[in-house]
Amino acid sequence: MQIFTKLFLVLFLFVFISSCEKDVYEVYEVNSLEVLPVNADKDKAKSDAQYVSILYTNYFQIPIGPNKLLEALNAIRSIGDKQIAYDIIVSKYLNQSPIMPTKTEMDADPETFIRSTYFRFLTRQPTEAELAWMLNYINSDSAITPDLVYLAFSTSNEYYYY
């Protein structure tokens, strides 16, 4: 009986010791993440050929022909200030009936116009702040027309980068 009690005590001690585990405290954290602007990945400048090809397609919804492209490149290179050369070529294309919304369409649904313009030229949606500013700008000035907005977008720095 004593042996049985001793055995029981040993067994009890073994179970008691082996069942004791140290508490493990898990700490969960959030990985640090750098928040960048929506257009931060655009860090490569377009060549003149890329700029004109994409511009032409954006405006006329068809690709520019090779001869026309070479001519356009030569024209751009003939003016030292690229911003001025781009302003002029875009202003010329705007005078050649590009495919774009009318003033009536823009005024009827400015938010759709803004979203589609951002997507067409900058290949992204506007941020809430951008959308709010643009909406306010268009709604507060009846003289704003789609061609003015298109000219500004297609001669902006963001449009020049991809």
Partner 1 sequence: MKRRKFIKKTTKAAISASVFPYILPSGIIGKKTTSMMADHVVFVLFAGGVRQQESVLQRYLAGSQNEDVEGNILYNMLAGPAPETKIAYGTDDNENDIIGRFPIDALLQNSLESQGTLFPEVQFSRGGTGHFGGLVTGVSGNYSSVDVGGLQSRPAAPTIFEYLRKHSGFKATDTWYVGLGTGGSRPLLNYSLHPDYGRKYAGNFIAPLVTFGNPGQNHFMNFKNYHETGNWDKVLEIRDFINQNFSQEGFEIPHLYNTTDEDNFIKSFVKSTFAKGDNVFLPPVNDNQDLKVIGYTLELLHWFKPKVTVVDLSNVDVCHGNFTAYLKNMHRADHGIGFLWKEIQNIPGMSGNTTMIVMPEHGRNLNPNSILDVNDWQAYDHSDANSRRIFTLMAGPGIDAGLRVGSEDEPVGDAADVVPTIADIFGIKQTVYDEGLIDSNARSLFDRL
**Residue 118, amino acid:** Y
Supply the angle between the helices 82-94 and 66-77 in degrees, to the nearest 10. 140
* By the rule CB under 8 A, 139 interacts with partner 1: no
Q: How far is CA 162 from CA 15, 39, 48, 107, in A?
A: 67, 9, 13, 30
Q: In sequence order, what DSSP letters do the residues of 88-144 get, joined into one string? A: HHHHHHHTS--S---HHHHHH-HHHHHHHHHHHHHSSPPPHHHHHHHHHHHHH-TT-
| Smallest distance from partner 1 to CB 138, Å | 9
With respect to partner 1, which residue has the nearer C-beta, 1 or 143?
143
Note the residue count of the chain. 162
Other beta carbons within 10 Å of 62: 9
* By the rule CB under 8 A, 26 interacts with partner 1: no
Binding-site residue total for partner 1 (CB under 8 A)?
48
Stretch that binds partner 1, among 1-9, 24-32, 104-112, 153-161 (CB under 8 A): 153-161
With respect to partner 1, which residue has the nearer C-beta, 37 or 66?
37
* By the rule CB under 8 A, 21 interacts with partner 1: no
* By the rule CB under 8 A, 60 interacts with partner 1: no
* By the rule CB under 8 A, 100 interacts with partner 1: no
Among 49, 131, 135, 151, binds partner 1 (CB under 8 A): 151
Please tell me whether residue 38 adopts helix, strand or coil conformation: coil
* By the rule CB under 8 A, 82 interacts with partner 1: yes
* By the rule CB under 8 A, 102 interacts with partner 1: no
